[in-house]
A and B are shown apart, each in its own frame.
Chain A
């Protein structure tokens, strides 16, 4: 008790002597979440401004005699004639492990009613991305648990992989599945089942989404035990444009803390199209000149500086990483619109989801031809590379031949074999939601496919074959799976073990 009294006394003593100097301005105009302030001659760009009503703002436009600021929080408290003063601070959010398992708003304040967050540090929202010296090439995988992605469009830690597609094609589902997969691996590593696994913490930033969607995502993550490793930053559609514009930067700051402390983080920006729209609104009410589709001139910089912050840093700089999975919603499959092309050019590849495939029942509806990963293949483990190396080519050939297959049945044996193989791969890559597949099981399944164990299985039984095989391997041949995990490559011994296991499986099951 006495220490508290002493503390207050020293604070009072400090106040007695000091005369505070501040730089002030007068609010001349306010509305739509922005204020124009006359004066504030010493204000800095992106500096926090405090209004006399206690509301904070962010100085975005510095003009000759005026300052344009966006308001954070309750905007109705700011009136014309109010005094505003500079604070000399940048906008900060709480960061650290205390945020895991929580749902917070753009400013890092809890929304889940689980009490206050005792964060160990605060990071500024805007930070310069790590430079060339601090960076290292991507060499560790992010196992999404989605077989099509892990095999053909691998994602590495520190990569930026765009998820792009029309509405209702399963973009968020891919992201949520990835989070669930990380949680499963983190848990397995904690229990000692997964050696040398670096935990990957997830941050899901929901921008301009319906509150019900966020609630559903939260429920799914909780039901799958993923929340202990996840933070949700929510700036729903009902939030101000200011908060929606700042939310991804808050998420990035939270991710950077993990990176700076030698840990790995995964950030999902869901979605950046709505983010661009929110920024357009802010820019237009600030009377900034508009460009194409009324977006301001710096909308490219907005996204590039955000996504540049994901990186994999060297051991000297901590050895952590921030992986980003931005999501973009296209209109009627138009990837050449302004924002999609911008983000495609910034990221290190994209996963393109197609409406047609989705309705054909190919889910996740990943279009193999249009999806690429520019750096991730360096991060794949060798075993996956061995079994998945040719799959993309096989599938591409299948797509080409599929058009001919409709014309007639008199095909040569080679073409027929390719078609059969292609149909089975497509079938294998279908995967139900919220059920990520562990990497060792992926290897075993793809190995079986590569070595012709599926050729005799009818196409409509492939899925059944796969689930039964997974069950069989998990329950009867754990040794083989463990060997894949520990060796990370398929050598001669493992090959004979796998062959023996599959022969036994096929002899006991008929399809």
Chain B
């Protein structure tokens, strides 16, 4: 994907102005996208694409994906969410998923950080060490 400098700068500006008080504001995002589509500035489709990508990365940074081998019970889930919010701030969104491939345990991903206590990971590490 070839992006020129203008597109990158505009999309970055758009991202900067989609925050209110340090938090992503969906209302502002919608308004920005709407005005962009109405005004149709040069390269606006590519700008939107780049903006979408930046937004996705921003949302990923504030979303915790919690994978477990089997369905978690509600008290455990609540405890995990509380723990994560303490670490990453109250605006952290959470998302639960079941992944039997983990064999057991959990794998939590927030942005680029991954905490892995799954059996699969331990086996892989053991394999690497032996």
A residues contacting B by CB (< 8 A) are 8, 11-12, 15-16, 19-25, 38-42, 65, 85
Residue of B53, B111, B130 near A8 (CB, 8 A) is B130
Question: Judging by beta carbons under 8 Å apart, are A85 and B114 in contact?
Answer: yes
| Alpha-carbon gap, A65 to B61, bound state (A) | 12
Closest chain A CB from B65 CB (angstroms): 12
Q: A11-B126, A21-B114 are in contact. List 7 more A-B contacts (CB 8 A).
A: A19-B115, A20-B116, A21-B116, A22-B114, A23-B112, A23-B114, A39-B57
Contacts of A39 in B (CB 8 A): 57, 111-112
**B52-70 Cβ-contact flags toward A at 8 Å (1 or 0):** 0110010000000000000
CB under 8 Å from chain A, chain B span 73-130: 109, 111-117, 121-122, 125-126, 129-130
B residues contacting A by CB (< 8 A) are 53-54, 57, 109, 111-117, 121-122, 125-126, 129-130
Closest chain B CB from A340 CB (angstroms): 35
Question: Judging by beta carbons under 8 Å apart, are B115 and A38 in contact?
Answer: no
Question: Judging by beta carbons under 8 Å apart, are B125 and A15 in contact?
Answer: yes
Closest chain A CB from B52 CB (angstroms): 13
A-B contact number at CB 8 A: 46
| Alpha-carbon gap, A40 to B126, bound state (A) | 24
| Alpha-carbon gap, A21 to B108, bound state (A) | 10
Question: Judging by beta carbons under 8 Å apart, are A15 and B122 in contact?
Answer: yes
Question: Judging by beta carbons under 8 Å apart, are A19 and B117 in contact?
Answer: yes
User: Known contacts A11-B126, A20-B121: does B112 contact A40 (CB below 8 Å)?
Assistant: yes
User: Known contacts A8-B130, A11-B126: does B114 contact A24 (CB below 8 Å)?
Assistant: yes
| Alpha-carbon gap, A85 to B54, bound state (A) | 21
Question: Judging by beta carbons under 8 Å apart, are B57 and A38 in contact?
Answer: yes
Question: Judging by beta carbons under 8 Å apart, are A25 and B112 in contact?
Answer: yes
Closest chain B CB from A35 CB (angstroms): 15
Q: Which residue of B lies closest to A16 (CB)?
A: B122
Closest chain B CB from A36 CB (angstroms): 10
Question: Judging by beta carbons under 8 Å apart, are A41 and B126 in contact?
Answer: no
14 A-B contacts, Cβ less than 8 Å apart? Answer: A15-B122, A15-B125, A15-B126, A16-B122, A19-B115, A20-B121, A20-B125, A21-B115, A23-B112, A24-B109, A39-B57, A39-B111, A42-B113, A85-B114
Q: Which residue of B lies closest to A41 (CB)?
A: B112
Q: Which residue of B lies closest to A8 (CB)?
A: B130
Contacts of A11 in B (CB 8 A): 126, 129-130
